[in-house]
Structure 1
Amino acid sequence: METEIRFTHKDLVEQCKTGKTNSQYELYALYVDAMYNVGLRFLGNKEDAEDIVQDSFVDAFKNLGGFKYESSFGAWLKRIVINKSINHLKAKRIPVVPLETQEYHLTEETIVETEAIDIGNVKLGIAKLPEGYKQIINLYLIEGYDHAEIAEILGIATSTSKSQYHRAKKKLLEIISEL
């Protein structure tokens, strides 16, 4: 009877640090789908998402020696994917609109009736948002970053992150109501 040996994620990371390619493959298999979904949410393009995920894994494995377990491996890798996705969008020159160029008051709130909103419509709505809005919605609602973290990731002011989020949310609700 063959005994199957199971490794924890930490065990796999430690084995990867020693250069064991089988462990790298196992770690890759555990995270590739989730990281692809993160990249796809940001980039909206399957090919770009695949490229970003591959580059992210390469960078992660190259820099594994610096991984200190201050977070889970998955959270660390997700941050790499998000940063690479944002840098890819910046390279394509898709800007986040600064607060100063908009007339928007944070006291204005959109009131939404308490109807159930179809998750499929939400996904379609997010896909139709302008890229800057899509980034903020993905980072805040989907990935769970707070506005200070978003500001740091995107290189913008916290107030800009907040105002962009409010505008993005308002635009998303408009799009959803038209679906």
Structure 2
Amino acid sequence: MNRPDKSPCALIVMGVSGSGKSTIATALAERLSWAFEDGDRFHPASNVAKMRAGHPLTDEDRWPWLEAIADEIGRVCEASGHVVIACSALKRVYRDVLLRGRHDVRFVFLDGSQTLIADRLARRKGHFMPPGLLDSQFRTLEPPQADERPITVSIDAPVETIVNNIVAQAQVRTQSP
């Protein structure tokens, strides 16, 4: 069932805050006719309050959040569904929790410079993640390695181009409406 060559049932769009996870994941889900979930909605209220106050999350803060997202991936995939999830997944250990040994889930790494992302964050309004936490996000980031089979795309392109690059690399088929 979980063969490495199996078409993915879930794509997790990952990267630091401000890299465009929600924007790209939403556009990708629409393009593939898959469901979309924003990983932020799985955060307990205490995590959101902590980030809003300008404090970075600890690993202990993240475990329940990651487990909740992994539960959703399992639910969707076991029901033969498909989902695109926006989730930072900054460390390999976090990605391992999300995968739970599955081979039918792929990570899409949105790669961009800290300067570009800081500029985007400075213009973003109404998000709970303050720009001041970007340094901690980059310190925490462990870019996915080749053995994780990531789909890596540059964020320095229009949304449509980024989505086209992801679809070409993921080799997924769109779902019939």
Using structure 1 for the length normalisation, give the TM-score.
Answer: 0.27
Q: Which structure has the larger Rg?
A: 1
With a CA cutoff of 8 Å and minimum separation of 6, indicate the structure with the bigger relative contact order.
Answer: 2
Using structure 2 for the length normalisation, give the TM-score.
Answer: 0.27
Q: Which has the higher strand share?
A: 2
